[in-house]
A and B are shown apart, each in its own frame.
Chain A
Amino acid sequence: MKFSRFPLLPALLALSLSACQTLNSPTVGKGISYGDSKAVETVSTDLGSTDIQTTSEKMTQSLLQTPLLQDIIRKRGLLMASPVENKTSEYFDTKLITDTVLSHLQKNGVRYVIAGDEMQNQVDELRRQNQSGLYKKSSAAKVGNMQGAQYRLDGSVSSITKRGSGVKDVYYKINMRLIEIESGIVEWSDEKEIRKVLNY
């Protein structure tokens, strides 16, 4: 069986060689390839790229439809975001959802101010420009001109995990809200549900 295949091999090789030359791709190395960043990822039941993408997409779409948000865009109002809170037991940086929603919104003309820990860098920079004595007074960014946001975006991710024999079911619920900072009124909220099932 094994031997009978061998005489064929050179013939096959010759054939394939004459048919086409191998074209080198502009790549180095092997074993690693670039995947489609938009592909549906079903590697594990943990939150993954597809979940972030579809969630932020749904949130953006839902937000854009809100008359209030369209109003904010028109009046060049300001938004800030508290990172989406992770209420699951998974080590998953849920801030990614916030980041993606913000960048999608920004593409539609929404302006937002930074908050939280990024604020520290901002303050440090302002301080350096004004207090270090190294910068020209006229070109240094002035202190006291930072703008406060009128609306705040926040949210959370929760999960319920169930295990049976040979099956693991994880249900995720991602919730986001837009809150008017002054009044504390929730002006918009939406949620996305994801169910992931692992059969093994």
Chain B
Amino acid sequence: MRKHALLPVLALSVFLAGCAGSPLRSYNKELGNTISMVNAGDVKGALAQLEANNDSVFSSSDEKDANGGKKEKTQADSIFGKDILYYFEKGELLRLDNEYERSRDAWLEADGIVRIWEDEYRVNPAKVLGDVATYLVSDRVSRYDGNDYEKVFLSTKLMLDHVMLGNNDDARIEMKKTFEREKLIESFREQEYERIQEETGKQSLKFSVDDLAKNGYPVDKLDSPDARALKNGYQNAFAHYLSGYFFELKGEPSLAAPGYRNALELRPDSKLIRQKATGKLGGKPGPGKADVLFVVESGFAPALRSITIPLPIPINKEVVVTPLSFPVITADTRAYVPPSITVGAQSLPVETLVNVDALARRQLKDRLPGIIGRTAVRAVIKSALQYQAKKKGGALAGLAATVATVGSEQADERSWRTLPARLSVARAILPVGEQDIEFRTRNGIYRGRIKIEDTMTIVPIRLSGNFVYVGQRDAQGTLEAAPDLEEAVEDEPVDEKPEAASKPSGAGGLSGILGSGARPKVLR
């Protein structure tokens, strides 16, 4: 099915290269604008931009069929229609806009696409695994099913949406689905690994990650200590912690305990998790109090970039240097995690549970052997073409062919970009009612007011560029630049904990000191 679908894609790619809906689009370019709009606090503009980018010639914007029923997703839809990335980003943007219902709907669309993949794998694992090794065209042309960690993140985020909307039953289902998904991915990766071992054993041409490194691929960027410390490239400590929180508050310690325990396995150094994983569960917060979870997201997931590495491919006893493209991750160090959140008189420590940056590196590192395998197969074919051109037309034609291959070879740079770079949590038992919160951002101190409900209260906070989003419908707050902070925070390594927050002397004298970019803003 997929192989057939590829043919028209190839043919069309020629005139579609510039078009937004094209599989050959440059995803980074597309999303760059969207992200800077989010950074400036213009979510609505970012959404409009996203819609404009995805106005494909193939997909009808109408998601209903002729009878008004919901259209069934087909594989063609997932290739030509609005792809999973569109729904990933849309769901995230809508969530930042506090449109939880629409965000959930967008993510459910994405979930449908992930489920196509899951079902395919369950029904016919050999076929899905077969695809792993048989691509002749660049990875970016293939259907994007989402990265492993994105798939897990998707159900985690859906889970959060369900909780925010108060649909506890749906949240419960989504939680179970998250962990089934993790297991499925685990089994897929295990089998894929064996498959790739087998395939590369068969090939006469063998390239390892080391060969890539020798030719200029920045392996050290992937093999960073934080990426190595992860158990794998898909499991999400926050997903487990959230289910621990959810089930604990629902009075189901037998399901909460494994949540905390799994989270601890993934983040053994977290005090917040350890406290729950080893302590007794099921304590009630007491009358007039609620167990509140702050979910602090900072920055944006790292972008994948294409890097061209010339590899020597032996053809007819002649070594032809062929330029091949590989994805590489560019670090996003702009994420800022506040060291603590002050609620009333209490200062709550903020702990980072998920480092998406490290996850992405780890995932790419784990998948690199497969990518090399696929690229090598293509290389042999392309080298043969080059060789023919060289033989017939001399050096000049050979050069032309080289240029052509570089032009058509671009690594797959698609990824869910609006995901945060860091996901952190803080948790405390707080009195019900309105509460003042305060925390540091890169641009100063945010002060706001949140509402704490009687039951489960989750407060999503997103620190993005110059802006702070608080995920409560009527939350209000201001970001005040603190002159003595600006310097201290500048160029600070992401994870390092700064000194205790020093408060600005007063709001009155601020406007004079502030630059135009950091004016006090009223936030939703």
Contacts and interface: CB of A to CB of B under 8 A. Distances in A.
Is there a direct interface between A and B, measured as CB atoms under 8 Å apart in the complex?
yes
Interface of A: 83-95, 116-117
Contacts of A91: 175-176, 179, 243, 255, 258-259
Interface in B86-118: none
Given A91-B176, A91-B179, A117 B255 contact: no
Given A89-B262, A89-B265, A95 B251 contact: no
Interface residues of B, number: 15
Given A91-B179, A91-B243, A83 B254 contact: yes
Contact of A85 (B179, B254, B259, B265): B254
A89 B261 contact: yes
B240 to A, nearest CB: 9
B273 to A, nearest CB: 13
Contacts of A95: 252, 254
Given A91-B259, A95-B254, A116-B251, 14 more contacts: A83-B253, A86-B253, A86-B258, A87-B257, A89-B261, A89-B262, A91-B175, A91-B176, A92-B255, A92-B258, A93-B252, A93-B255, A94-B254, A95-B252
Contacts of A85: 253-254, 257
Contacts of B175: 91
Contacts of A94: 254
Contacts of B254: 83-86, 92-95
A85 B262 CA distance: 16
Which one of B175, B179, B254, B258 has the highest number of Cβ atoms from chain A below 10 Å of its Cβ?
B254
The 10 closest A-B pairs by CB, nearest first: A117-B251, A86-B254, A94-B254, A86-B257, A89-B261, A95-B254, A89-B258, A89-B262, A91-B258, A91-B179
A175 B262 CA distance: 22
30 contacts: A83-B253, A85-B253, A85-B254, A85-B257, A86-B254, A86-B255, A86-B258, A87-B257, A88-B258, A88-B261, A89-B258, A89-B261, A89-B262, A89-B265, A90-B258, A91-B175, A91-B176, A91-B179, A91-B243, A91-B258, A91-B259, A92-B254, A92-B255, A92-B258, A93-B254, A93-B255, A94-B254, A95-B252, A116-B251, A117-B251
Interface in B262-282: 262, 265
Contacts of A87: 257
Contacts of B251: 116-117
Contacts of A90: 258
Nearest to B176: A91
A87 B251 CA distance: 16
Interface of B: 175-176, 179, 243, 251-255, 257-259, 261-262, 265
Contacts, number: 37
Contacts of B253: 83, 85-86
A154 B258 CA distance: 18
Contacts of A93: 252, 254-255
A162 to B, nearest CB: 15
Contacts of A92: 254-255, 258
B287 to A, nearest CB: 13
Contacts of B261: 88-89
A116 B254 CA distance: 13
B177 to A, nearest CB: 11
B155 to A, nearest CB: 13
A83 B252 CA distance: 9
Contacts of B243: 91
A119 B451 CA distance: 29
A86 B244 CA distance: 12
A91 B259 CA distance: 7
Nearest to B243: A91
Contacts of B257: 85-87
Which one of A85, A91, A95 has the highest number of Cβ atoms from chain B below 10 Å of its Cβ?
A91
A94 B256 CA distance: 11
Nearest to A95: B254
Nearest to A118: B251
A84 B252 CA distance: 11
Contacts of B255: 86, 91-93
Contacts of B258: 86, 88-92
Contacts of B176: 91
Contacts of A116: 251
A83 B256 CA distance: 13
A86 B248 CA distance: 13
Contacts of B262: 89
Which one of B175, B176, B179, B258 has the highest number of Cβ atoms from chain A below 10 Å of its Cβ?
B258
Contacts of A83: 253-254
Nearest to A83: B254
Nearest to B191: A200
A84 B176 CA distance: 20
A110 to B, nearest CB: 22
B34 to A, nearest CB: 36
B260 to A, nearest CB: 10
A85 B261 CA distance: 13
Nearest to A90: B258
Contacts of A84: 254
Contacts of B252: 93, 95
B231 to A, nearest CB: 12
A143 B179 CA distance: 44
A116 B243 CA distance: 20
Nearest to A96: B254
A86 B247 CA distance: 13
Nearest to B250: A117
Nearest to B280: A85
B265 to A, nearest CB: 7
B418 to A, nearest CB: 28
Nearest to B259: A91
A117 B265 CA distance: 29
Nearest to B262: A89
B103 to A, nearest CB: 25
B367 to A, nearest CB: 21
Nearest to A44: B183
A92 B255 CA distance: 6
Contacts of B179: 91
